[in-house]
Amino acid sequence: MKFKSSVVRIGQIGLVFLGVTVLGGCTALEVGLGLRMRLDKVPVTAVSATLSPDPGLAPGKSARLIVTAATSDAKQLVTVGAGHGNVLFDSFTIAATTVTVSKKGVVSLTADPRVSEGASPHIHIVVVGHPDVTADLDIAIRYDVAFLANFLGKPGFKGADGFDGLAGSRGTDGSTDPNNQSAGGQGGDGTSGGDGSNGDPGQPGEAVHVWMTLKADDRPLLQVRAVSKTRTQLFLIDPNGGSLTINASGGAGGAGGSGGRGGRGGSGGNGFPPGFSGQDGRNGFDGLAGPDGAAGNLVVSVDSQAQAYLDKLQLINKSGGGTKGPKPEIRIEPVAPLW
CB 80: neighbour CB atoms within 10 A? 19
Asked if 272 contacts 304 with a C-beta cutoff of 8 angstroms, the reply is: no
CB 244: neighbour CB atoms within 10 A? 21
Q: Which residues have a Cβ under 8 Å from the Cβ of 182 and sit 6 or more positions away?
A: 174, 175, 271, 272
| Spatial separation of the C-alpha atoms in residues 338 and 158, rounded to whole Å | 41
Q: Which residues have a Cβ under 8 Å from the Cβ of 327 and sit 6 or more positions away?
A: none
> Residue 32: its pLDDT value, please?
73
| Spatial separation of the C-alpha atoms in residues 30 and 135, rounded to whole Å | 27
Which pTM does this prediction carry? 0.80
pLDDT digits (tens, 9 = 90+) for 34-45: 789 999 999 999
> Residue 25: its pLDDT value, please?
54
Which parts of the chain sit beneath pLDDT 70? 1-25
CA distances from 104 to 1, 63, 300 (A): 19, 11, 40
Domains of the chain: 20-141 (2.60.40), 143-167+193-265+286-339 (no CATH)
pLDDT digits (tens, 9 = 90+) for 214-232: 998 778 999 999 999 999 9
Residue type, 65: L
